[in-house]
Amino acid sequence: MTGPIIDIDGVSKRFVKSLDMAERAARLLGANVREFVVNAVDDVHLSIRQGEVMGLVGESGCGKSTLGRIVAGLYAPSAGTVRFRGRDVAALEGEDAREAALKVQMVFQDPMASLNPRLRIDEIIGEAPRVHGLAARGEIGAYVEAALQRVGLDPAMRKRYPHQFSGGQRARIGIARALAVKPEFMVCDESVAALDVSIQAQILNLFMDLREELNLTYLFISHDLGVVEHISDRVAVMYLGRVVEQGVSEDVFASPNHPYTQALLAEIPTFEAKKKSYSVIKGEIPSPIDPPSGCHFHPRCPHAFALCRAERPPLKEIAPQRYSACHLNDAT
Amino acid sequence: MTALLSIKDLRTYFFTDDGVVKAVDGVSFSLARGQILGLVGESGSGKSVTGFSLLGLVDPPGRVVGGSIRFDGKDLLTGGEPALRALRGKRIAMIFQDPMMTLNPVLRIDTQMIETVLAHDNVSRTEALKRARDALVMVGISSPDERLQSYPHQFSGGMRQRVAIAIAMLHKPDLIIADEPTTALDVTIQAQILAEVQKLCAETGTALIWITHDLAIVSGLADRLAVMYAGRVVEEGETARVIERPLHPYTKGLIASVPQGKTRGARLQQISGMPPSLRNLPKGCAFRPRCSRADEACLEEPALEEKLPDRKTRCFHPWSLDDARDTRRQAPSKDGMAETTT
């Protein structure tokens, strides 16, 4: 039994749009303007064990990417702590902090937006290992070639620019760059969303191969439930900044507990021999600026009752390894 | 029953400085009234250009260079621009991937909808407004009166797409061409839109061409499927039978590479390589370099032929013909995929 590699403990992230000068002046004059506060991530607990793939699903605006960026160290949490191998990342200093930062890497959704268009790919991939002294100056060429080969790219392409590659190849470059600093933990934020189905399958296979080869742990963020079900050992479902359900993938997909998860799973398009009639969850995702009271899902939930409007349901263990945040579990 | 739409050997080429790009190269299919056709393919397969060609929306340097498009007995390619204008929006409507493209950001929804009604019908503004309101109700928009007064930016993505569908439905067209209309939407919203479209088509008898890269979406929606690769239709047939027993190796690969619960832990079957550049297509069958069944025969261009009753494919070595016996021996799997792998 290994301990968690990443432990997310009560992490929240608030984004505040502060007032500009004109708005402050307007407020002094009695206008009704106020600061916008978005609770993008709201008190999330999640621990990820060595070697597993943790899937994180949810619709746009649910905070899944923000959580991924907090884990990767790109945002500082507003509250709570992220622990890497038991040590609070925020409290580390000097060499330890650098070490922890290198060990957690991120692969972004849009490879074109995350690769510098003016750099050749040997520079894109080689820069970090050179700066961090992972490869000696003379060996950097060989190091980059090995990195390219590992993700299935021809090392002869190392002098090209990002625009000379196809979407699938760019995704591979993004992965090679993340792997170049020998991470132990990868945050994959919608890393296959922009790819065609046949290319997506290649990249998913690559992720799985790398995981075995390099003993990696993934936080795999996606809105595509099919992809997450395929790749994840465990899965967490987010809705408006909160984790509403969490558990072993097989269990969650076989018998979802939270009404939101149930609705989400009912709507995955699947191959079916006959026509499907789409059942529908009503309404839209509420604005995170002004989320509903109590359980955020209650306006769309078919089972909502008075308590759901008043009180936030805690994320409780409803079965071994299985957590859900729903008042219905107490009602019975 | 005669076909509402029948496309024969449609070819749309783009004459660029770097050479001719054969975006659509010999596409044929037909569609009956009230039928839903799923036009499936990866990026660059020519599926969207096929849709644009139908409405004469291909801009230079692109041009339709050959073939025929017959809509309700009339040839759209020889009719000229005025004839097309009379059809567009009235009898054939289009829904685009990005509803922001369809909606004018500086006009209120009511202005835009009334304009659409008046473009084809000589009715009063009050009457037009009433029709706009009814259309919004039909696509499931609550408080339509209030919504008519709003601007597009005040809507969410899903609502905008509903408005775009409402505008497409204003004239109760015979055919709607929908180009990836749910790709930018969340799963729950996508399901709402699919449910809405399914209902509307059943109620009004509108035929629909649903262009998408996602085979899973159309498998639950379309009556028929046409799979495109490198500008050509490589397989066509009734949806359930195509999914159950794909003939073309590309279709089979496409179905197998969709990740699902059943594939957990296992490697996904992948199609090796990448889609070819349309400027530089391989000789013969365009799928040949990625195909596991290719041999010398594939250096010739295969024709789209009926290999099984009502099942066309463009392949010399289709699956399921020689494997038909094996497939029958196995109980058909629940997910509708024949599990014959080599």
Query: CB atoms < 10 A from the CB of B222, how many?
Result: 25
Peptide bond into B173 cis (omega under 30): no
- CB contacts under 8 A, A 162-181 vs B, are 166-169
State how far residue B214 is from chain A, nearest Cα, in angstroms: 8
The verdict on a CB contact (< 8 Å) between A201 and B187 is no
- Smallest CA–CA distance from A57 into chain B, residue: B187
Domains in chain A (CATH in brackets) are: 4-118+161-331 (3.40.50.300)
Q: Is A235 on the interface with B (CB under 8 A)?
A: no
Query: CB atoms < 10 A from the CB of B309, how many?
Result: 7
Q: Which pLDDT tens digit goes with each residue over A65-123?
A: 899 999 998 899 999 999 998 888 888 888 888 888 899 999 988 777 888 999 999 99
- CB contacts under 8 A, B 32-61 vs A, are 42-43
pLDDT computed for residue B293 by the predictor? 83
The verdict on a CB contact (< 8 Å) between B264 and A249 is yes
Minimal Cβ distance to A230: which of B213, B217, B259: B259
State how far residue B82 is from chain A, nearest Cα, in angstroms: 38
Q: Is A279 on the interface with B (CB under 8 A)?
A: yes
β-sheet with B62-71: strand ranges across? B19-31, B5-16, B62-71, B74-75
Token pair 């972004």 in the structure block, residue: A108
State yes or no: pLDDT of B340 exceeds 70.
Answer: no
Measured distance between the N- and C-terminal CA atoms of chain A, rounded to whole angstroms: 34
What does pTM read for this prediction?
0.81
State how far residue B297 is from chain A, nearest Cα, in angstroms: 25
A103 three-class SS: helix
**Nearest-CA neighbor of A179 among A148, A223, A158?**
A148
- Burial, B296: exposed, middle or buried (Cβ in 10 Å; 0-12, 13-18, 19+)? exposed
Contact (Cβ atoms closer than 8 angstroms) between residue B117 and residue B131: yes
Q: Is B251 on the interface with A (CB under 8 A)?
A: no
Q: Which pLDDT tens digit goes with each residue over B68-118?
A: 899 888 888 887 888 888 888 889 999 988 877 788 899 999 999 999 999
State how far residue A163 is from chain B, nearest Cα, in angstroms: 15
Partners of residue A281 in chain B, C-beta under 8 Å: 188, 191-192
| B175 strand-pairing partners | B92, B207
ipTM of predicted complex: 0.73
- Ranking A5-19, A310-324, B63-77, B253-267 by mean pLDDT, the lowest is B253-267
Partners of residue A253 in chain B, C-beta under 8 Å: 261
Q: Which pLDDT tens digit goes with each residue over A1-23?
A: 467 889 999 999 988 877 888 88
Partners of residue B142 in chain A, C-beta under 8 Å: none
State how far residue B273 is from chain A, nearest Cα, in angstroms: 8
